[in-house]
Each structure stands twice: as structure tokens, then as C-alpha cells.
Structure 1
Amino acid sequence: MGMPHAPGPGEPGDLLETEWEAHRPAVFGAAYRLLGSVADAEDVTQDVWLRAAGADLRGVSDFRAWLVTVAARRSYDILKSARMRRETYVGPWLPEPLLTGPDASEAVLVDESVGTAMLLIMEELSPPERVAFVLHDVFGLDFGRIADVLGASVPAARQYASRARRRVAKARQAAPRAPRAERERVLAVFRAAYEAGDLAGLVRLLHPDAVYVTDGGGKIAAARKLIHGGLRVAEVMVRGGRQWRPDRIDVVEVGGELALLFRREGRVYSVDTLQITDGVITEYRRVINPEKLSHL
């Protein structure tokens, strides 16, 4: 992303840009965690830079906290309107995939809070709860700043964070994160079975109550309801694999977790993330909405 060379009053341009480059991942990371959208997070990041470039920063003692607070305030406004957009979204909604491996186009502070599973958990929180949780538990901001972002009292900000923390902990306990080695094994076996059209092999990898979630956003043919049951999911996958045979399937890192990226005719067709528990797939999530894949 290009940056205008416009230092704030009393702030040398080269120093501002050096500080900005050091903290830009945190700005983008905060916005992405709050919004679940790469495009929106990039817009917020640009807005924060413009705000910083035009501000008098001489009294700012913690530039990182100041930047993240500005990002959170802008993201909070978007988040409140996004809740209404979600209600009219066609079919299931999944977060926009963020590549976080060595070839990622965006540097970001990678931890569990940018994973698809965590972003889906945070989608269930109210906007104030999500902001309070991300700013306090992920970025370590004090509740005075958080209260200012939310337009609430400090005790209220603490309560929002506490409620969010309890809900997140409960969801984590219900669906713990699989170790990397286990994900590598399951993804390798799944890819081989998928490419071979091996129905029995896929059934063995899927939990009997597995759920298949497809996000097409009304932009491309996709199931508009969840598909339940390991056998049913496997049948849909085999049929889809024959109809839309990929040129290539790569194991990539999305939100800090291993995932699958499908290419057809030289373009990214889907990005798939999996919930794996005890060596089997309990939830398979596929993003095929082209608007959510264009940045890849």
C-alpha cells in the first residue's frame, strides 16, 4: 500500500514513516480481527495512516496504542453497520481468508485470534464485546482507551471484555485447536482422497455429524444452507470435485492455521479451512465468493 509523505506538525516525515512501518501490522491486525475482512482492514489501515500523517503527535507517548485505538474506533463504526449487512448476505458468511505464511501479502501479528474458528466465534459477540476483547485480550490496551472507543464507562468496558472472554473460552473448550502435526496429516490424506474422488476415504476422514459450510455470497453457485452428515458431505465433495476439477490444490497458512487453496484455470477458486477434532474433520468451511478471493 502506498503512503503519502505528509508528516504531522512537529513530527519529522522519516521518523513518522519509520514508526508507522513498525506498527502497521498491529493496525491491520486489529482491524482484521474486528471485521473479518481483508479489504475493510486495508481501508481502515489507510485511514489510520492519513489520520496519523495529519495529526500533531508530539503529546503521544505510546504510538502503537494510539494507532490501534484509531483503527478500533473506525472499525467499530464499520462493525456496527456490518451487522446489518450480514442479515442480507446470501447464504452462510465466512471470514475473508488472510494468508499468513511466508508468502503472505500482508504482515500481521499471527496468533489464534486471526484463525477462522476464532473469527467465527467473535462474530457471535456484540460489537462492543468484540472490540473490548480484541483491544484488551489481544493488544493489551487499557480499559480507559477501550471505554473511549466504545463511548462507555470504564466499568462497562470491563464488563464487555469479561462477557466476551467467557464466551470465547466456552467455544474454545467445545472445539479445541488441533496440533499442527495432526492438521498436516489430515490435510494430506484429505487432499489425496479428494483428488482421487475416493468417497470411502473421505467418509473415513469426516465425523459422522460433520458440517459443510460454503460461502458463495450469491456471486457464484454454492449451497445456501449448511450440509450435515459425513456421508452427505463426502458425496457433495466428490460430485463437486468431478464437476469443478481443480488444476492444483496447495496447503497454505490462513490465519495462522494450515488450510487448502484450490486453483482452477490459473485462478484461486476456493480457500478451505477445517475444524479437526481427534483426527477427523468436524467442520469443513469453503470460501468461493470471488470478492473474498480477489486479493489472493
Structure 2
Amino acid sequence: MSGERVPRGSEDDRLAAEWDRHRPAVFGVAYRLLGSVADAEDVAQDVWLRAANADLDDVDDLRAWLVTVAARRSYDILKSARVRREEYVGPWLPEPLLTGPDASEPVLVDESVSTAMLLIMEELNPRERVAFVLHDVFGLEFGRIAEVLDVSVPSARQLASRARRRVANAKQAAPQAPKAERERVLTAFRAAYESGDLAGLVKLLDPDAVYVTDGGGKAFAARKPILGGERIAEVMVRVGRQWHLDRIDLVEVGGELALVTYSQGQVYSVDTVQLTGGLITAYRRVLNPDKLAHV
């Protein structure tokens, strides 16, 4: 229950059991809309308190009701987040969400929680993003989506359709690599990185690769993306030596294999990659300590 207070009484016990069953959906919709574990947990807490104090006798689909409440709260945060993004120091990347065996709680996992998809959805406007996530990911009817966005049902359909086209075009431009290929490349990359093998890293990086670091002004990070496989490899080897990176683990982040690096026993970064043709075309590193608190 992640710290939520469980109300007393048989009705409340039943609600608590239902909440445990539906919480992954509540957290999941908030994370997909906001790209932040901390904000998603806050939304889940708000939804739980709302449900615990509401009369739900007439609610025939509790999951849809909970997801709708979470989406409405997330939509409010998402609109204000646009301003925060403009003020953010350096590139912004989604907060890493551990999935698989390393996850601290059940998470609904599909491609929409991957870093690549979250960045694609970041390019949608808030209404498009809500419509897409609620309909295409969670299967909510357009009547509920229209209520969340305060638009007509035809407008909600149009928003979802427009978002779907934009997402499909972006995915076509950067298709997802097979799981086996990702594991092979990241295993080789980790070995080269741990040994400081510059040539080995260059072989795994596309010549036109991009390296993006998110420090948020709270960790040493490049303020602009670094371009070029050789240049990226050189920077990574130098950083590895400078910060005494002593361990690199393969973990699942957002449903895909990723790297967690450690410096002096502490998490230094969470790294996700984009692969094309067996080479890394985008290397994304989260360094902001606020975003690593849940790792």
C-alpha cells in the first residue's frame, strides 16, 4: 500500500483489497503522464484518500473510476509541468522506473513506460497525451476522457487520433530493438566500459550517436547533448575514471534492459539506450539525485 492508511470496517477492508488490485493502474497512468516516480506516488496517495472518503456505492467500474481520478489530477500537474520543464537546467529525461525483479512494487509494464516512449509522449501537448494514454494504453471510453479534459467526445477522439499518429510516426523513425539484441549490446558495452576499453565502446556506438545527460543542475552533467560515437566514448571513459565508477549492473528500467552505474557504493546514474542496427544511437544518462532516490 506504499504507506497509505487503511480505513477500518468491512466496507473499508473491501476497498483496501480492491485498492491493492488497482493501484498499479493508478500509479501507471500517473507515471505515463508525468514521467516522474515521485509525482506518480503523490497522485496515487491523493487518489487513495479520495476513494477512502468517497461514496462508491454507485460506482460500477472501480478501476475506471480510480484511473479517471488519477488522470484528472495528473492532467493538472502536467499543465504546470510545462513551465517547470522550461526552467529545468539542461536536458530533461524521465525519472527511471525500475521494473522486473528489481521493482519495489507491482507495475503495469508495456512499451509506454520505456524511456523512448515517454520522450515521444513528451512531445505531445497535455490533452493529446492524456487522451492517448487513457484510450490506447488503459482502454477508457471517450466519454470519461472528455470529462477529464473538459472537451466534447468528438474532440477527445480527435485528440487521441492525432496523438496516435504522432506516436506511430516517431516509433517508425526509431523502432524498438529486440530484447536479445539489447541484452547482447548492453552486456558488451558494460564489459568495455568497466575495462575502459575505448575502442570497444566506439564499436558499439553509432558514428552519429547522441549522448544526453540529465543532471537538473544538481549533478555534474553536460548542458547540451554530445554528438558522435568517438566523442561519446572518450567522454564516458574520462567520466568513469574521474568519478571512480566501481560497478555497473544490468537492470530492467521501464520494461527494457538498462545500466545502473555505482560510484563508491552509491548509485551514480541510470542509463538507457536506443538501438538501431545493433548499434547505440542514443545514450541517455540520468544523474539528477532527486530522480535516483527511488533506485
Relative to the length of structure 1, the TM-score reads: 0.98
Partner of 1:256: 255
Residue 66 of structure 2 corresponds to residue 67 of structure 1: yes
Tell me by how many angstroms 1:13 deviates: 1.0
Letter in 2 for 1:139: F
Report the secondary structure of 2:283's partner residue.
strand
Q: Secondary structure at 1:259's aligned position in 2?
A: strand
Unaligned runs of 5+ in 2: none
- Equivalent residue letter for 2:30: A
Equivalent position of 1:31 in the other structure: 30
Aligned to 2:241: 242
Superposed CA deviations along residues 168-211 of structure 1, whole A, max 9, x for unmatched, are 00011011111111011000110111111111111111101000
Shift of 1:108: 1.1
Alpha-carbon contact 1:30-1:134 (below 8 Å) kept: yes
Query: Taking structure 1 as reference, are residues 129 and 19 closer, same or farther at Cα in structure 2, changes over 3 Å only?
Result: same
Identity of aligned residues (%): 77
Matching residue of 1:177: 176
Give 1:166's aligned residue.
165
1:60, CA displacement in angstroms?
0.3
Task: For 1:122-137, list aligned pairs within 5 A.
Answer: 122-137=121-136
- Contact 1:220/1:289 (CA < 8 Å) preserved in 2? yes
- CA distance in structure 1 between the aligned counterparts of 2:8 and 2:209, rounded to whole angstroms: 53
Contact 2:102 2:252 in 1 (8 A): no
Aligned-partner Cα distance in 1 for 2:263–2:230:
26
Structure-2 separation of matches of 1:265 and 1:88: 31
Shift of 1:266: 1.7
Does the Cα contact within 8 Å between 1:7 and 1:54 map onto a contact in 2? no
Q: Distance in 1 between matches of 2:6 and 2:53?
A: 10
Cα offset, 1:103, TM superposition: 2.3
Corresponding position of 2:196:
197
**2:146 aligned residue:** 147
Q: Hey, what does 1:85 align to over in structure 2?
A: 84
Please name the residue that 1:21 is paired with.
Answer: 20
**Following TM superposition, by how much is the alpha carbon of 1:7 offset from its aligned partner in structure 2, in angstroms?**
6.5
Could you say what the CA RMSD is over the residues aligned between the two structures, in angstroms? 1.1
Contact 1:7/1:16 (CA < 8 Å) preserved in 2? no
2:7 match? 6
Report 1:268-283 matches (<5 A). 268-283=267-282
Cα deviations across residues 208-240 of structure 1 (Å, max 9, x unaligned)? 100000000000111000001111111111111
Cα deviation digits, residues 36-65 of structure 1 (max 9, x gap): 000000000000000000000000000000
Counterparts of 1:52 and 1:7 in 2: how far apart (Å)? 14
CA contact (8 A) 1:212 1:284 kept: yes
Q: 1:56 to 1:217 in 2, by over 3 A?
A: same
Q: What's the CA shift string for 1:123-172, capped at 9, x where partnerless?
A: 00000000000000000000000000001111111111001000000011
Matched pairs, number: 294
Instruction: Please tell me whether residue 53 in structure 1 is matched to residue 52 in structure 2.
Output: yes
SS at match of 1:98: coil
- Secondary structure of 2:169's match? helix
TM-score w.r.t. structure 2 length? 0.98
3-state secondary structure, aligned to 1:12:
helix
Moved over 6 A (4+): none
Cα offset for 1:264? 1.4
Partner Cα separation in structure 2 for residue 125 and residue 68 of structure 1: 20
Alignment-derived partner of residue 215 in structure 1: 214
How far the C-alpha of 1:246 sits from its partner, in A, is 1.4
Where in structure 2 are the equivalents of 1:277-292 lying within 5 Å?
A: 277-292=276-291
Per-residue CA deviation, residues 25-44 of structure 1 (Å, 9 max, x unaligned), is: 00000000000000000000
Task: Give the AA of the match of 1:257.
Answer: E
Q: After superposition, give the CA deviation of every residue in 1:266-289 in whole Å (9 maximum; x if it has no partner).
A: 211100000011100000000000
Q: Does the 8 Å CA contact 2:213/2:284 hold for their aligned counterparts?
A: yes
Give the Cα–Cα distance (whole angstroms) in 2 for the partners of residues 3 and 90 of structure 1.
33
**Where does residue 116 of structure 1 map in the other structure?**
115
